[in-house]
Amino acid sequence: MSPSDTALRDPLTPRPTLGRPDDYLHSEHTLRSWLLTHDHKRIGILYLLSITFFFIIGAIAAGLVRLSLIVPNGMIFSNDTYNRLFSIHGIVMVWFFLIPSIPNTFGNFLLPIMIGAKEVAFPRLNLLSWYIFMVASLFTLADVVIGGVDTGWTFYAPFSTTFSSAWVVPALIGVIVVGFSSILTGLNFVVTVHTMRAPGMTWFRMPIFVWTMYATSLIFLLATPVLTITMLLLLMERGFHIGVFNPAIGGDPVLFQHMFWFYSHPAVYIMVLPGMGVISEVVPAFAQRRLFGYRFVAYASIALATVTFLVWGHHMFVNGMSEYASIAFSIMSFVVAVPSAVKVYNWTATMYKGAIKLRTPMIFAMGYVGLFVVGGITGLYLATLGVDEHVHDTYFVVAHFHYIMVGGTSIAFLAGLHYWWPKFTGRMYPEPWGVVAALFIFIGFNATFFPQFILGYLGMPRRYHEYPPEFQILNVLSSVGATILGAGYLFPMIYLVWSLRFGDPAPANPWDAKGLEWTIASPPPEHNFARVPQVDFEPYDYSEREQRT
């Protein structure tokens, strides 16, 4: 037990100020020391606070959308207000929560530690990335809340460039600028992984979380510039009437869709891969088993990051794109499912003959696998041309991607948050409350989104403020589910904050988990490792326990 643990045990005991190495949380206390920090751990915490804030905003907008949909005649909000609400929800959740969620919080905090480094490659750039994120996101938030944007997060032209009378330009600028934050983070991670690994930390000794961070960073670097260009072209058309997308001034009506999805499909994997990384840490730890098929899972991460660039056309099967292009995009989308399937089967096999502890992170992880599977399979339905012609742009699609993004990414985020909470804060969260939250979220989530599959197959288009009365019961069910889901999210917000003061002090390795982050104190010292670790062991080296039995 490290000195900091003993010091933290009783919050009333005055902390010794001399003669012990301070952990990163207590090394300095001023606000300035946080706002100007170069410590990747503190930057991770800054991101954690920021994205939680944006999650709350996005969730409130979602709640209002679900409120509106309780009645079919749209009498609760006006049509424009409704359109603004779902645009706030989409823009905030995608750009200011989902994309930065795991990479910028857990990635910043853990990636260097997991490879035995004391820092990321470019600490100052890392801080700059956070500032860019904050400026862009607060600016955009002010725009979408005060001004209002009614384009949805997809900004389809020529509606966004010519016909919308909302405050589109500031939102575009915000999205362009926040992209640079992603690019800087991606660059930082790629260089860190290449150059800062501890002696003995070969590529195939890196935890899968690091592999997925690496793959995600590649997508950040390769895809984000395309988004930047696309948004700049929108700006040019909207601001200066330079015809790019609007045929009335010489543009092409479907070009925007091509460019947008060329970024936004890979962006799906920016949101999905990190979640997979988290689950690949949590499952072995709570099964006390080596991750099954480690190399396959590592390769699958890179495969996903590659093939994901070849499937954007599956968002465009019904826009008049040539039949052969559609068929090619359809089969590529089937191919991209293979690496995901590999991971799901591997997680399941990891549990075989384990010694399974159903603690909160594991419960979240198992929920993740179940929901991710549903999201993945329904994604294959959508890649099936004959089905997509029917359910494209309906609630079926909405349900599908929420199973991936909420059931997948944000549940993985919660799994990781509980798993590493002791490491981040030096405190344990209250276990029973964690289980309660997980159950609320799992039940609420399914009650919200499963009815939407049916609604979609019935033909309810997405982004509908009013809808036919025969869809009402399912919509009400979905809104009730959203209430349960919302309550489920409230629990961790309360008990995690509570645990900061009243939680049990965390030992260095509360889960008996493997990985370098569990070899150092909780919370970690300012420079992570007193001595550079020598890595002479495989990842997920739970064989000790395996031999015991």
Residues that bind Cu ion (CB under 5 A): 265
Choice from 348, 435, 436, 480 touching other proteins (CB under 8 A): 348
Structure tokens that stand for 172 in this block: 């575009």
Contact 84, 167 (CB under 8 A): no
- Binding to other proteins by residue 537, rule CB under 8 A? no
Name the binder of 465 from other proteins, Cu ion, none, CB < 5-8 A by kind.
other proteins
Contact 108, 189 (CB under 8 A): no
Looking only at residues 362 through 401 of this chain, which bind other proteins when binding is defined by CB under 8 A? 366, 369-370, 373-374, 377, 380-381, 383-390, 392-394
503: left (phi over 0), alpha (psi -120 to 50) or beta: beta
Looking only at residues 468 through 497 of this chain, which bind other proteins when binding is defined by CB under 8 A? 468-474
Looking only at residues 19 through 48 of this chain, which bind other proteins when binding is defined by CB under 8 A? none
Write the DSSP symbol of residue 405: I
Looking only at residues 203 through 232 of this chain, which bind other proteins when binding is defined by CB under 8 A? none
Choice from 246, 446, 499, 528 touching other proteins (CB under 8 A): 246
- Binding to other proteins by residue 248, rule CB under 8 A? yes
Q: Which of 72, 507 has the CB closer to Cu ion?
A: 72
The interface region with other proteins, picked from 74-82, 115-123, 306-314, 482-490 by CB under 8 A, is 74-82
Residue 79 identity (one-letter amino acid): N
- Binding to other proteins by residue 150, rule CB under 8 A? yes
- Which CA distances in Å does 360 have to 419, 431, 499? 8, 7, 15
Write the DSSP symbol of residue 83: H
Q: Which of 459, 507 has the CB closer to Cu ion?
A: 459
- Binding to other proteins by residue 466, rule CB under 8 A? yes
Structure tokens that stand for 293 in this block: 């098929």
Q: Which long-range contacts (CB under 8 A, 24 or more apart) does 30-39 make?
A: 36/127, 37/127, 38/119, 38/123, 38/124, 38/126, 38/127, 39/119, 39/123, 39/526
Q: Rounded CA gap, 125 and 188, in Å?
A: 8
What character string, x for contact with other proteins (CB under 8 A) and - otherwise, covers 422-461?
--------------------------------x--xxx-x
Apex CA 50: angle with CA 183 and CA 478, to 5°?
A: 100
CB of 250 to other proteins, least distance (A): 9
- Return the residue matching tokens 């920021």: 50
Q: Which of 205, 265 has the CB closer to Cu ion?
A: 265
- Binding to other proteins by residue 296, rule CB under 8 A? yes
Does residue 180 sit in helix, strand or coil? helix
Q: Which of 42, 205 has the CB closer to other proteins?
A: 205
CB of 385 to Cu ion, least distance (A): 14
- Binding to other proteins by residue 239, rule CB under 8 A? no
- Binding to other proteins by residue 159, rule CB under 8 A? yes
- Return the residue matching tokens 């981040």: 424
Q: Which of 377, 487 has the CB closer to other proteins?
A: 377
Q: Which of 265, 427 has the CB closer to Cu ion?
A: 265
Looking only at residues 298 through 317 of this chain, which bind other proteins when binding is defined by CB under 8 A? 317
Q: Rounded CA gap, 397 and 205, in Å?
A: 38
- Return the residue matching tokens 């709350």: 56
Q: Length of the chain in residues, anyone?
A: 549
Choice from 2, 326, 479, 522 touching other proteins (CB under 8 A): 326
